Structure formats: C-alpha cells, structure tokens
Amino acid sequence: MHLEIVSPEATLYSGEATSVIVPGTDGAFQLLDNHAPIVSILMEGIVKVKGATLSDKAKKHFTAGKDAGEITLAIKSGTVEMKDNKVIVLVD
C-alpha cells in the first residue's frame, strides 16, 4: 500500500509500506493491504510502520521500532484515511 505521513511543516514520509499501526480513540489499530475504507481521529501515541524504506531526509523524523524493519513516529494527534490501498496520516 502507499503511505503518506504529513505534518503541518512537511511531508514526513511518502512511499510503500506493508503495515501501519495508528493510535485510535479506542486503542491502536492496524491497516494492511486491501483494508476497508476508513477515516479516523488519532490520539497521542506512536505510529508504527513496517516495510517502509526511508530516505536520508525522512530518517530524522523516525526511530527504529522494536521489530526488524519497523519504524516509529510519536504524534500528539491527527487523522488517518485509507481508501484504495492509499493511506494518508495527518499528524501534529
């Protein structure tokens, strides 16, 4: 799936990913290929991305996750939308 993570200042990531876990209002949830369309509010927490390839520019925004091939990003709030295998995460 294609993933974009965007902050008010810049696009933090734009590329492919195999899994995205986001902190929803009722707990974390995972988005995978062919997930049903969804729009949700995000709470303060950690966005976890698997299968992403970071550019040198993007590396300054992310940290390595606990699992191999996982990157993480701490957020204060945001929204997520997934439709047609494209995920857009707007973060603060």
> Does pTM top 0.85 for this prediction?
yes
Give the pLDDT confidence of 38-90 residue by residue, as tens digits: 999 999 999 999 999 888 888 889 998 888 789 999 999 999 999 999 999 99
- Residues 6-12, mean pLDDT to the nearest whole number: 96
CATH superfamily for domain 2-91:
F0F1 ATP synthase delta/epsilon subunit, N-terminal (2.60.15.10)
Spatial neighbors of 58 by CB under 8 A, at least 6 apart, are 12, 13
Q: What is the pLDDT of residue 66?
A: 83
Residue ranges per domain, the chain? 2-91
What is the rounded distance in angstroms from the CA atom of residue 35 to the CA atom of residue 86?
10
Q: Which helix (H) or strand (E) holds 21?
A: strand 19-24
Is there a contact between 83 and 90 (Cβ–Cβ < 8 Å)? no
